[in-house]
Amino acid sequence: MSLQDQFIEKLKLKYGDWVKVTSQFGTNTFGQIADDLCISASQFSKLISGTATEGMYIRAIKNIEQLTAFDKLKAENEKLQLSASEEGMDNKIPFILKILIPIFVLASMIVALLLTSLVFNKKSSSVPEGSSNLISEHSLGQYFDQDFQADFVSPYLQTDQVQEYCPCSAFEGKWELDKSYAIPLPGLKPGIYYVAKALDLRMKCHRSVGDEGFQLIGFEDMYHEIWVDKNREPLSPTYFDSNKKSFTDAFYNLAYDSNSDFVKIANIKSLMINEFVIDNGQIHRQGEPAGRYAYDVNEELKDKYEINVKELLEDVIANMLITKCGSAENLYCNPNDLKEGESKINFKCDFTINTENMGFGGSYPYQKGYKLIEQNYSDNLLCRCIEPNN
């Protein structure tokens, strides 16, 4: 029996027969079952259609088994309590046992719930810790994430289109920030840092271009924080080597949220529109901001350290900072090599600050990386990988 068949049989045992006309198992819709299993609607669709990966099937089957085990435990506890009540056992049980039995039953249910929640946790160990919590909902979530039972047309490719738009079809889905990075900002006093903490990128094939299958559009919610060094320590020499024109290890090892010398002034959310072009050897990216705003501004700290958040957004981040990223190495010439929770695309970038560059000249390096979290389509793709010329 295939993993797909095993998955469907487990669903039937748990929920009832598959009613294909209404997309239900028993009286439960696909959307309700996806919520029970703590997976997305698109993942459930892959599992049903047979396009999910082996790992996805194994995890989903284990989840159903855990749910079934919990239902059985709950039913046995209820039966035990009912039996005891009907037989009048309350009068025969010593007082201490009357107290301990309900406690034991309750503890068993709590343990089962904890085990179930660990298995069903949507964020697997491969997802960057804390990243999903920082951006609770994508700005375009209603277009990308609705339940497939809703009156909804997904922006992703349909199953019968994925081979036609290969290899970009393999890149479609949700990507997150690989690693945090920081950019020092100019100001009347030093010590202001623009820290990238998380992003939620929805990548889809660009279908209105002539070069089908090699261009993508990425809608990116990005989350930054503005931190201030309370000591207003200059960038050089502690954090920047002006002779080598490079940041020091102390800069890269800064942990702003656990360093008492730093305070957070505000959170910043940005919407970026990206265009990605895939070739066999490289992936090219062009990004353009489509809006940016501050929230949770600490007014007391902002005034204390003389930080004008609106000015930082308008004049410094938007107008004074100029960023440029090179092409990323395409490690997925064979698009079937893309794996959820593992695959990354890293762009080496530089930023300059208008013409002053804080007195050091040149530009400042950083790396912006994306990690694939949820793939829209992960079945075998047939487009041929042509190795780049040496």
130 pLDDT exceeds 50? no
- Give me the pLDDT at residue 343, please: 96
Task: Report which residue type is found at 344.
Answer: K
Q: Which residues of 19-39 are buried (b: 16+ CB within 10 A; e: fewer)?
A: eeeeebbeebbbbebbeebeb
- Give me the pLDDT at residue 135, please: 55
Tokens linked to 118: 């660990």
The string of pLDDT tens digits covering residues 47-74 is 887 877 777 888 889 889 888 888 888 7
What is the β-pairing status of strands 364-375 and 328-329? unpaired
- Give me the pLDDT at residue 105, please: 52
Identify which of 66, 358, 373 has the alpha carbon closest to the alpha carbon of residue 201: 373
Other Cβ atoms closer than 10 A to 176: 21
Residue predicted with more confidence, 155 or 137 = 155
- Give me the pLDDT at residue 123, please: 36
- Give me the pLDDT at residue 69, please: 85
- Give me the pLDDT at residue 388, please: 47
81 pLDDT exceeds 80? no
Residue predicted with more confidence, 175 or 85 = 175
Lowest mean pLDDT among 38-42, 224-228, 311-315: 38-42
Position 133 confidence tier, pLDDT thresholds 50, 70, 90: very low
136 pLDDT exceeds 70? no
Kind plus residue range of the DSSP H or E element containing 353: strand 344-353
Determine the angle formed by the axes of helices 41-49 and 3-15, rounding to 10 degrees. 120
Task: Report which residue type is found at 385.
Answer: C
Task: Report which residue type is found at 165.
Answer: Y
The string of pLDDT tens digits covering residues 113-125 is 444 444 444 333 3
Residue predicted with more confidence, 354 or 303 = 303
- Give me the pLDDT at residue 128, please: 34
Residue predicted with more confidence, 31 or 347 = 347
CA angle 257–258–261, rounded 5-degree value = 90
Tokens linked to 129: 């810790």
d(CA 19, CA 10): 15
Question: What three-state secondary structure class fits 266?
Answer: strand
Tokens linked to 246: 């490079």
The stretches of the chain forming alpha helices (DSSP H) are 3-15, 30-37, 41-49, 54-86, 95-120, 131-134, 141-144, 168-171, 249-252, 299-304, 309-311
The string of pLDDT tens digits covering residues 163-221 is 999 999 999 999 999 999 999 998 778 999 999 999 999 999 998 876 678 999 999 99
Contact by Cβ (8 Å): 200, 145: no
